[in-house]
Chain A
Amino acid sequence: MTAREQAVAAEIRRIVREELREPGPFADDEELAGRLDSLLLLALVTAVEDRFRVILGADDAARTRSLADLARLVAAREAAPAPGPEAAP
């Protein structure tokens, strides 16, 4: 992972630990759905979108399995925002 991706991953870990109160280490390649149920996953995505000012879609969810996947997706989306409400003129 790039330095930015690692920084994003660290912040996601903080959200999981402090906001979702899911304790314990969370490895980069650990499956998110293995640790978080659907409601907590939705809560994580809600928090990540607001924290990083990105919008994640259904296609993104299908391609995102691990914490590292999510960190890479968020870092890429920060660099090149997907077309969305905020991109409209």
Chain B
Amino acid sequence: MGPVEPPGGLLAGAPHPRVAAVGRALPPHWYDQETLLAALGAYWSSRHHNPDRLAALHRAVQVKGRHLALPLEAYPGLDGLGKANDAWIAAATDLGEAAVRDALARAGLGPADVDQLWFVTVTGLAVPSIDARLCNRLRLRREVRRTPVFGLGCAAGAGGTARAADLLRAFPGEVAVMLSVELCSLTLQRDDASIANAVSSGLFGDGAAAVVLTGGERGTTAPRGPEVVATRTVLYPDTEWVMGWEIVDGGFKVLLSGKVPEVVRTRVGPDVDAFLAAHGLARGDVRHWVAHTGGPKVLTAFGEALGLPEQALARSRRSLAELGNLSSASVLFVLGDLLDAGEARPGDLGLLAAMGPGFAAELLLLRW
């Protein structure tokens, strides 16, 4: 039996945790897709019999350009995991700081107000983790509870926000910051002329996003976003092969099946329906769909699985075209865009959804 809403439905019980604000940060180095393709072509020309075919895969992802953590000319020097990861730590700390500062300012809160700091990533490793380094940078309180999460992949922006909201139910007077930093460009395996790498090197970009969540008993003076009414995670059995990393001497080599869209198309609908039904809701009750920008085909599959009109995913498609897939940060960029647009009205329901390695889905029911 799945989780069910307490008696009385959505309006019952203690006030829910709330999204107070979403902050975002992008590195300053932006390149259009053809410039990036030309740089990759230099590596691929000796690795594949028909480099033009890899270029076609690269273009098929419908991304206009990406922000990179470093200027393009710095990447040839990153020959190996050590150098790439050192660059990742430096850039992730800077970008993470910018995203958290943006989020706190939007929420009308300061570093001293933070009680919990969550940090999710799948593109680099650091011990002490980036959240510890940011406690020093931002002068957070010494008592801040930190939770670094590695491995949820693209689903971690949704999953981390869900876990943070879940914990705030136990500590409703607290403030949580959930930070995602993904520097996908620093995982590039330049010698890998595989189809997965051709697609992913065309699709993934760099960026950071931070969500400020307040417990149900913790008010703020700033404009407030939606409540996180409920969360659900679903692991799809025996789909470990769909996506992930193979850890090689050079770093993180991407595993990305061309069947991701099919998995999304066949699995997501029933799980979203079950999640909504547990709260007495159906798809038609959801006004705002905040979907991870997995790729053009993944978004199409998501829309088909749920019978959504094209307009429902327009914000996700726009973000994908402009920034690429920012892994776990993507869905938070889309949420931030929705909050900025001011389209949601009190009482509106939203569903935030992301899928990632496992293969798994993370779902959050939002209410404005």
Decide if B258 touches A40 in the complex (CB within 8 Å). Answer: yes
Decide if A55 touches B50 in the complex (CB within 8 Å). Answer: yes
B366 at interface, CB cutoff 8 A: no
Q: How many residues of A sit at the interface, in one of the four size bands?
A: 10 to 19
B151 at interface, CB cutoff 8 A: no
Contacting residues, chain B, for A42 (C-beta < 8 A): 53, 56-57, 60
Decide if B49 touches A49 in the complex (CB within 8 Å). Answer: yes
Decide if B53 touches A49 in the complex (CB within 8 Å). Answer: yes
B91 at interface, CB cutoff 8 A: no
The interface bits of chain B over 62-77 (1 if a CB of A lies within 8 angstroms of the residue's CB, else 0) are 0000000000000000
Decide if A46 touches B54 in the complex (CB within 8 Å). Answer: yes
Contact of B241 among A21, A40, A55 (CB under 8 A): A21
In the complex formed, the residue of B with least CB distance to A45 is B53
Contacting residues, chain A, for B297 (C-beta < 8 A): 37, 39
**CA A42 to CA B48, docked complex, whole Å:** 14
Minimal beta-carbon separation of A86 from chain B (angstroms): 8
In the complex formed, the residue of B with least CB distance to A55 is B50
Contact of A39 among B48, B49, B261 (CB under 8 A): B261
Contact of B198 among A45, A46, A53 (CB under 8 A): A46
A10 at interface, CB cutoff 8 A: no
* Residues 30-59 of B at the A interface (beta carbon under 8 Å): 48-50, 53-54, 56-57
Contacting residues, chain B, for A43 (C-beta < 8 A): 57, 195, 258
Tally B residues with Cβ within 8 Å of A.
18
**CA A53 to CA B37, docked complex, whole Å:** 22
* Residues 20-48 of A at the B interface (beta carbon under 8 Å): 20-22, 37, 39-40, 42-43, 45-47
Decide if A46 touches B258 in the complex (CB within 8 Å). Answer: no
Contacting residues, chain A, for B220 (C-beta < 8 A): none
B259 at interface, CB cutoff 8 A: yes
A59 at interface, CB cutoff 8 A: no
Contacting residues, chain B, for A55 (C-beta < 8 A): 49-50
**CA A20 to CA B368, docked complex, whole Å:** 42
Minimal beta-carbon separation of B316 from chain A (angstroms): 18
A73 at interface, CB cutoff 8 A: no
Chain B residues at the A interface, C-beta cutoff of 8 Å: 48-50, 53-54, 56-57, 60, 193, 195, 198, 241, 257-259, 261-262, 297
9 contacts between A and B (CB under 8 A): A20-B258, A20-B259, A37-B258, A42-B53, A42-B56, A46-B54, A49-B48, A49-B49, A50-B49
